[in-house]
Structure 1
């Protein structure tokens, strides 16, 4: 049995507008099959994508709080010129500069999307040459080693590196973004605005997978979701995630 990350889920007051921003930012397409807005590569709606994590924007009434998101996206660039051009283009689309405690001399640029979700435009890094536009899904945490133990068992991605400061996973096929857990001061204080959605493989039993996650240390979470086909859980540090049902 195994679970695969299939999308990043972002809560939004206006899914169409913020989804449109991210579609332009990544050079992907915006699809609105129902109440959510989905951004993914290619012109046709393909879900789940075999190589990339799409982004699903889910409507909520509450705007983002002033607290920094504990999960954010890092965007890849290929050169210093590309980084500068991308930052300028994103600002023209509605992104704003964000201060999350970084020093003035870091080589990446911290921005926020039109609803205030922070993200980084990274300087060119060889490790990200084949990730596509999203280099990393980065998760703030207290204990990267503990996160590596849980997530390394929770999903079928390969653990590439683990230290006291960070843990890094990626699809076993070596495609798409990395998932990084970065040691960060401060504990989680507000519900996650951004989280991962996981999906069983065809033929696997969703409830058996959920039970397996509970045995690994996940806990059930009631966000007022009611009777829905997905299961909302939290990892050992309280980061929310969902296990989706096979359609």
Structure 2
């Protein structure tokens, strides 16, 4: 037997605002409303089957600074440069965490400052 990652939880001030961003980034939709946040996932998905859902948990004091865990996303059906332009247009911002410019990934922040990386490899159509 083994465990599977079924949910990733991201603390935030404004779950509705972040839901718009992350749904557009991942092609997810809001699939659940919790008293303190939202659950995002693939349309028609079944809990535990497929990719993990993303829980946006509302808090007045989300942790800031370098987190021990971050999300990596990959372009799906396009190249990194095109996807980077799309993410920036959606509200992502470039982040400097000490990169030297030789990295194959782009470090970004979502609208609330949570860091994530855009990898280079196209993983095929979403």
- Name 1:167's counterpart in structure 2: 38
Partners of 1:139 and 1:214 in 2: CA distance: 20
Q: In structure 2, list runs of 5 or more residues that go unmatched.
A: none
TM-score (normalizing by structure 2): 0.81
1:216 aligns with 2:90: yes
- Name 2:120's counterpart in structure 1: 245
Q: How many residues align?
A: 117
Q: Higher relative CO (CA 8 A, sep ≥ 6), structure 1 or 2?
A: 2
**Residues 87-102 of structure 1: matches in 2 within 5 Å?**
none
> Which of residues 44, 51, 62 is equivalent to 1:176?
51
Deviation at 1:148, TM superposition (A): 0.4
Between Structure 1 and Structure 2, whose CA radius of gyration is higher? 1
1:147 aligns with 2:41: no
1:232 aligns with 2:103: no
Q: Map Cα deviations across residues 55-101 of structure 1 (whole Å, 9 max, x no partner).
A: xxxxxxxxxxxxxxxxxxxxxxxxxxxxxxxxxxxxxxxxxxxxxxx
Which stretches of structure 1, 4 residues or longer, exceed 6 Å deviation after superposition? none
- Name 2:4's counterpart in structure 1: 133
- Name 1:121's counterpart in structure 2: none
8 Å contact kept, 2:39–2:53: yes
Partners of 1:233 and 1:221 in 2: CA distance: 5
Partners of 2:118 and 2:25 in 1: CA distance: 11
CA RMSD in angstroms, aligned pairs only: 2.1
Q: Secondary structure at the match of 1:200?
A: coil
Deviation at 1:157, TM superposition (A): 2.3
Q: In structure 1, list runs of 5 or more residues that go unmatched.
A: 1-25, 28-131
8 Å contact kept, 1:144–1:162: no
TM-score (normalizing by structure 1): 0.43
Q: Aligned in 2, Cα 1:187/1:176: closer, same or farther, shift over 3 Å?
A: closer
Q: Map Cα deviations across residues 4-23 of structure 1 (whole Å, 9 max, x no partner).
A: xxxxxxxxxxxxxxxxxxxx
Q: Map Cα deviations across residues 120-142 of structure 1 (whole Å, 9 max, x no partner).
A: xxxxxxxxxxxx63231001000
Q: Map Cα deviations across residues 197-217 of structure 1 (whole Å, 9 max, x no partner).
A: 001124x12111111111111
Partners of 2:63 and 2:112 in 1: CA distance: 8
Q: Aligned in 2, Cα 1:237/1:164: closer, same or farther, shift over 3 Å?
A: farther
